[in-house]
């Protein structure tokens, strides 16, 4: 118990110290520091949770071409975290980040295309975006691709490809993918 308290205290002080370093660096136009500081405020780690401050920091970092921040900004707009919801703007920010190889942004944009949120529903575009994200080892994107192939949704049904994508996703830590991989394995899909 004492050990856990010490570790939690240490974690808090490390994040508090990181926050002060990130603040100084962000003021000096270090956009990666702005992004990291935004994450601290978004999560309430070492600083008081403040979604509005996180949003402002993500905005500054995204405008400074820290593209991971554009993805975080897209999430803020999609979920209404520190700002009013705006799914269309969220899609634009995901696209900006995805274009600069932020794989999670490609996945997020793929989800919007799959469901027609903020963009016109387009399964082929969703598959293309999931493929890009999966090739960068985004486990959830690989799982979604596996489901497309398993169900024959937007693609010709192909259990072998489904199993391949489920395997990649499982290796990346997606438990649902592991279950689906096991099911296809039990059915004799090789």
Q: What is the pLDDT of residues 25-47, one digit of tens each?
A: 899 989 999 999 999 999 998 88
pLDDT at position 160 over 70: yes
Q: What is the pLDDT of residues 70-125, one digit of tens each?
A: 999 999 999 999 999 999 999 999 999 999 999 999 999 999 999 999 999 999 99
- Domain hosting residue 180, numbered range: 138-190
> Is 72 in the same domain as 111?
yes
179/177 Cα distance (integer angstroms): 5
Max Cα-Cα span within the chain? 59
Contact 56, 64 (CB under 8 A): no
Cα–Cα distance, 147 to 158 (Å, whole number): 10
Q: What CATH code is carried by the domain that includes residue 63?
A: 1.25.40.10
- Say yes or no: 40 and 97 in one domain: yes
């Amino acid at each position: 118990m004492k050990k856990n308290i010490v570790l939690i205290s240490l974690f808090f002080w490390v994040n508090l110290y990181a926050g002060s370093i990130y603040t100084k660096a962000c003021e000096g136009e270090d956009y990666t520091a702005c992004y990291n500081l935004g994450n601290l405020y978004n999560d309430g780690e070492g600083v008081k949770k403040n979604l509005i401050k996180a949003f402002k920091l993500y905005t500054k970092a995204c405008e400074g071409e820290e593209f991971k921040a554009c993805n975080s900004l897209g999430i803020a707009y999609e979920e209404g975290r520190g700002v009013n919801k705006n799914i269309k703007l969220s899609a634009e920010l995901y696209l900006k980040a995805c274009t600069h190889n932020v794989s999670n942004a490609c996945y997020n944009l793929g989800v919007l295309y799959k469901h027609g949120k903020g963009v016109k529903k387009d399964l082929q575009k969703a598959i293309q975006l999931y493929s890009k994200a999966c090739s960068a080892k985004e486990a959830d994107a690989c799982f979604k691709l596996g489901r497309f192939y398993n169900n024959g949704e937007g693609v010709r049904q192909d259990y072998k490809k489904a199993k391949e994508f489920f395997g990649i996703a499982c290796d990346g830590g997606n438990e649902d993918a592991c279950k689906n991989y096991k099911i296809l394995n039990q059915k004799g899909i090789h």
